[in-house]
Amino acid sequence: MNFNLSKEPIVIQDVIDKVIKRNAGAVTTFIGTVREMTKGKKTLFLVYEAYEPMAIKKLEQIGAEIKERWPDAETAITHRVGKLDITDVAVVIAVSTPHRNDAYEANRYAIERIKEIVPIWKKEHWEDGETWVGNQLETVPYPTGKPKEGDIRD
Amino acid sequence: MIKVLLFAQLRDELGKETISIEANGWSVAELKGKMKAEYQLGGLETVMTAVNEEFADDDTILSDGDTVAFIPPVSGG
């Protein structure tokens, strides 16, 4: 199972181990963590919620899209759900490829797609209230298609 | 019956996670209209819709037994 949701803290090495293969010359790992300050506002903790069966399907779809673009890539993604404290790991994406450039690019592709098509929501709990965060990219998602070249942000 | 799933702010707004609606043969757009009229659910113009766990557009026709999920803008990662 390369694509998971986890109610427990993510063991980063376990995600990496899933993409290790003899023909890989590079493994990139993206670790998304819970940030304390956002635009001057202090987050106390977060709650992630998912539409679980569909979220797993969409993570698998991202894996398939990466396979199409980078046929030798191996991808594994685990996203956390539930209550997370500051510095906790929210998501781990591991990608292996024969050469480093593809591993960086494919990993970047995966996180951008997560923010577009995977039904996971975060509720920020601030010192003075709470709010569901939506549309971090401030773009319309691409439910059926793929992001255009210019949509992968830097 | 159609099963409707609500998440994040939509669930908080309605106060429940699921509702069942007699909507056989309706389009997604008609279902959204009903949700707005009957439950005063706001912001449905900006949510995506999934039918049986796959994204669907407003013209998709619903059948008994379908599960419809309204997907507010996502914020994973």
pLDDT band at A143 (very low <50, low <70, confident <90, very high): very low
A53-92 pLDDT per residue, tens: 999 999 999 999 999 999 999 999 999 999 999 999 999 9
**B77 located within any domain:** no
A118 vs B contacts (CB less than 8 Å): 74, 76
CA separation for the pair A57, A61 (Å, rounded): 6
Q: What is the tally of structural domains in chain B?
A: 1
Angle between the N-to-C axes of helices A100-117 and A52-69, in degrees from 0 to 180, rounded to the nearest 10 = 150
**B27 located within any domain:** yes
Residue in chain A lying closest to B45 (CA): A140
**B76 located within any domain:** no
Q: What is the pLDDT of residue A135?
A: 57
B57 vs A contacts (CB less than 8 Å): 143
**B41 located within any domain:** yes
Residues in CB range of B71: below 8 A, 6 or more apart:
A51, A119, B7, B47, B48, B49, B50, B55
CATH architecture of A3-130: Alpha-Beta Complex (3.90)
Instruction: Determine how β-strand A37-38 pairs with β-strand A89-97.
Output: unpaired
Distance (Å) from the alpha carbon of B76 to chain A's nearest alpha carbon: 5
Q: How many CB pairs under 8 A join A and B?
A: 80
B13-71 pLDDT per residue, tens: 999 999 999 999 999 999 999 999 999 888 888 899 999 999 999 999 999 999 999 99
Residues in CB range of A41: below 8 A, 6 or more apart:
A126
Q: What is the mean pLDDT of chain A?
A: 90
The verdict on a CB contact (< 8 Å) between B72 and A118 is no
The domain in which residue B16 lies consists of 2-71
CA separation for the pair A43, A142 (Å, rounded): 29
A84-120 pLDDT per residue, tens: 999 999 999 999 999 999 999 999 999 999 999 999 9
Which pair of structure tokens corresponds to residue B72?
């507010």
CA separation for the pair A56, A10 (Å, rounded): 16
The verdict on a CB contact (< 8 Å) between B76 and A143 is no
Closest CB to A141: pick one of B7, B48, B53: B48
- Phi/psi of residue A92, nearest 5 degrees: -130, 125
Q: What is the pLDDT of residue A139?
A: 46
* CATH code of the domain in which B66 resides: 3.10.20.30
